[in-house]
Amino acid sequence: MKRVDVTGEVCPRPALIVRRELSEMEPGEELLVQGDYPPAKRNLERTCTKHGYDVTALDDDDASETFELRVTLPADASEAEAEQR
């Protein structure tokens, strides 16, 4: 599992960092994203889902400012779809 820490970053930097990491992933791989900016969490969840990634919040405590997301590229994604991400 790859890991990326976007702690201390504010939008749009977390999305740019995560997008770069995801572009290097193979189908079925997972990326653990850690951060501390709640708007970035919502943005990453929305953007990753929109682009076909599976997103799981590993912390369901909305009161906390820190977050962890597990982002997975579906194993059945074609190479062409992966290139578009």
What percentage of residues in the chain have a pLDDT greater than 90?
Answer: 75
Catalytic residues: 11
Domain that holds residue 68: 2-84
**Helical pair 13-23 and 38-50, crossing angle rounded to 10 deg:** 40
Q: What domain count does the chain have?
A: 1
Share of the chain above pLDDT 70, in %: 85
Give the pLDDT confidence of 30-62 residue by residue, as tens digits: 999 999 999 999 999 999 999 999 999 997 666
| pLDDT of amino acid 85 | 45
For 10-17, what is the mean pLDDT?
Answer: 95
The CATH number of whichever domain residue 38 belongs to comes to 3.30.110.40
Measured CA to CA, the distance from residue 13 to residue 7 in angstroms comes to: 10
DSSP classification of residue 65: S
Confidence at residue 63, expressed as pLDDT on a 0 to 100 scale: 65
